[in-house]
């Protein structure tokens, strides 16, 4: 139904308070962020925030999804970090003391 990028975009929007600032924080264009959020709203068939409001305001459904994203993304990020932590490094030398090959083993 939605992807992690959608949840990250929604959290950036909440923390930054505007599309322009959220786009900057995500290192994408404002147009790309707007497209992602519109795509998410279309997939869910409901608005998630009020585009014309200053300051930016989320709908009730938007706040529910923000709360979900806040609870789901940290453990996912932690799992990804753990998956890329080297468990061991295996090196071999060719007798010159220079590593001929190095392998990093991931969990």
**Within 13 Å of residue 65, how many CA atoms lie on the same side as its CB?**
27
Q: Output 12 or 87, whichever has higher pLDDT.
A: 12
Give the integer Cα–Cα distance in Å for 10 and 100: 47
Task: Tell me what percent of the residues of the chain surpass a pLDDT of 70.
Answer: 79
Q: What is the mean pLDDT of residues 5-16?
A: 95
Q: How confident is the model at residue 14 (pLDDT cuts 50, 70, 90)?
A: very high
Architecture of domain 4-83: Orthogonal Bundle (1.10)
User: Whole-model pTM?
Assistant: 0.73
């Amino acid at each position: 139904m939605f992807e992690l990028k959608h949840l990250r975009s929604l959290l950036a929007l909440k923390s930054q308070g505007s599309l322009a600032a959220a786009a900057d924080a995500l290192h994408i264009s404002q147009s790309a962020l707007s497209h992602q959020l519109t795509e998410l709203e279309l997939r869910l068939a409901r608005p998630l925030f009020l585009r014309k409001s200053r300051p930016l305001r989320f709908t009730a459904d938007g706040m529910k999804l923000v709360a979900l994203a806040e609870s789901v993304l940290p453990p996912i990020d932690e799992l990804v970090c753990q998956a890329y932590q080297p468990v061991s490094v295996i090196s071999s030398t060719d007798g010159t003391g220079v590593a001929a090959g190095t392998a990093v083993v991931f969990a």
